[in-house]
Homo-oligomer: A and B are copies of this chain.
Amino acid sequence: MRTRHLIDSRDYSVEEIKELCLSAEQIKDNLDDYCDACRTKIMATLFYEPSTRTQLSFQTAMLRLGGKVIGFSDASSSSVSKGESLRDTVKIVSGYSDITVIRHPVEGAAYAASLYSRTPVINAGDGGHQHPTQTLTDLFTIYLSKGTPDGLTVGLCGDLLNGRTVHSLINVLLRYSVKEIILISTAELSIPEYLKAQIVLNGIKYTETQDLEEVIPYLDVLYMTRIQKERFRSIEQYEQQSGVFVLTKKKLERAKKDLLILHPLPKVDEIDYDVDDDPRAMYFEQAENGMYMRMALVLDLLKNKKVRSHPVYEAAGYRYCPNPRCISNHEKYLPKLIGGESSGENGHCIYCDTVL
């Protein structure tokens, strides 16, 4: 048994996510009732890379619970710049605080932090790996609008290759009985093969397309993401295709009346400004929901419930993770750990999930 953390979007079961959503809804409807819930508690926000939006959301969540917030928003102005290890920073700061939120550019950093923290750790983004509170926020917004992801046709549009929010969301959706997943992107920005394999393995129907307009009438949920111009092979290709993925009022004419439009934000050009006024555009409410979900999560973790440890072993012949962006290759003192849900499964790096 170990302290409960939130490192991976799969750390909470479907039933537990349902409870978090109920709790978040309760908070949303009775916000002022919670203004003293964490009165004597301190949250440390260790942001090794700046992310104003995420940090503001966590800070607001804690402050609305009556708690306090300490932390830094940029490693360059912290002791890290004097060569301190992640391990030491976490040991010290968790001695000041009751809950720790960590954002780090390197994959697996949040798991590594959880090994040394005296208090619960929340992963607020570890490189391209995980961003589980965004996924919980997405699910909460679906929960509020649709009750459940079961039976829904979910479209994911934009950069499906690099977007960790999309990967996390798909991973969690696979636990529900969604009707179909429709993947809308260029061939270059389509989702990684291993994720497609996961979808197939879970028996979920999926379709790939480059044409948002064609599939929009079928969607119950449309999850838009930011496409970065520089992701295209040439400016010609960008100009040729970018319009296809921009959500406009015109395209929405053919969509369902109760379509739920989501976006993790910030957005740039991928949604026309006048779409914001469409009642189906829920991304600003989604951002607000993130605050309530984080409040629910903080309350849950501060109960300091113990959970079953993941099966983890230190394999004899294992030297290092092949992923150069894995924290175990940056902080050399970390134990080289292999995880696996069951003995039959292939091992994976416990930090960054790379299959070994």
* Contact B52–A78 (Cβ < 8 Å): yes
Nearest CB of B to A103, in Å: 12
**Interface presence of A288 (CB below 8 A):** yes
* Contact B83–A71 (Cβ < 8 Å): no
Binds B, one of A86-94, A143-151, A242-250: A86-94
- Chain B residues whose C-beta falls within 8 Å of the C-beta of A92 in the assembled complex: 53, 265, 284, 287-288
> Which residue of chain B has the shortest Cβ distance to A92 in the bound complex?
B287
Query: Given A57-B96, A64-B42, A266 and B88 touching (CB < 8 A)?
Result: yes
* Contact B273–A333 (Cβ < 8 Å): yes
Question: Which residues of chain A from 36 to 91 have any CB-CB distance to chain B below 8 Å in the complex?
Answer: 39-40, 42, 44, 50, 52-53, 56-57, 59-60, 63-64, 68, 70-74, 77-79, 82-84, 87-89, 91
- What is the bound-complex CA distance between A325 and B52, given in angstroms? 26
Fill in one digit per residue for A200-233: 1 if any B CB lies within 8 Å of its CB, else 0. 0000000000000000000000000010000000
> Which residue of chain B has the shortest Cβ distance to A271 in the bound complex?
B88
- What is the bound-complex CA distance between A35 and B36, given in angstroms? 12
Task: From B63, B68, B73, B285, give the contact of A42 (CB < 8 A).
Answer: B63
- Chain B residues whose C-beta falls within 8 Å of the C-beta of A50 in the assembled complex: 77-78
Task: From B77, B83, B97, give the contact of A74 (CB < 8 A).
Answer: B77
Chain A interface: which size bin?
35 or more
- What is the bound-complex CA distance between A122 and B84, given in angstroms? 26
- Chain B residues whose C-beta falls within 8 Å of the C-beta of A82 in the assembled complex: 226, 266, 268
A contact residues vs B (CB 8 Å cutoff): 31-32, 35, 39-40, 42, 44, 50, 52-53, 56-57, 59-60, 63-64, 68, 70-74, 77-79, 82-84, 87-89, 91-93, 95-97, 226, 265-268, 273, 276, 284-285, 287-288, 291, 333
Q: Contacts A35-B40, A88-B266, A273-B333 given; 18 further ones with Cβ under 8 A?
A: A31-B40, A32-B40, A42-B63, A42-B64, A52-B72, A52-B78, A52-B79, A53-B78, A53-B79, A63-B68, A64-B68, A79-B265, A82-B226, A82-B266, A83-B266, A84-B266, A92-B287, A96-B291
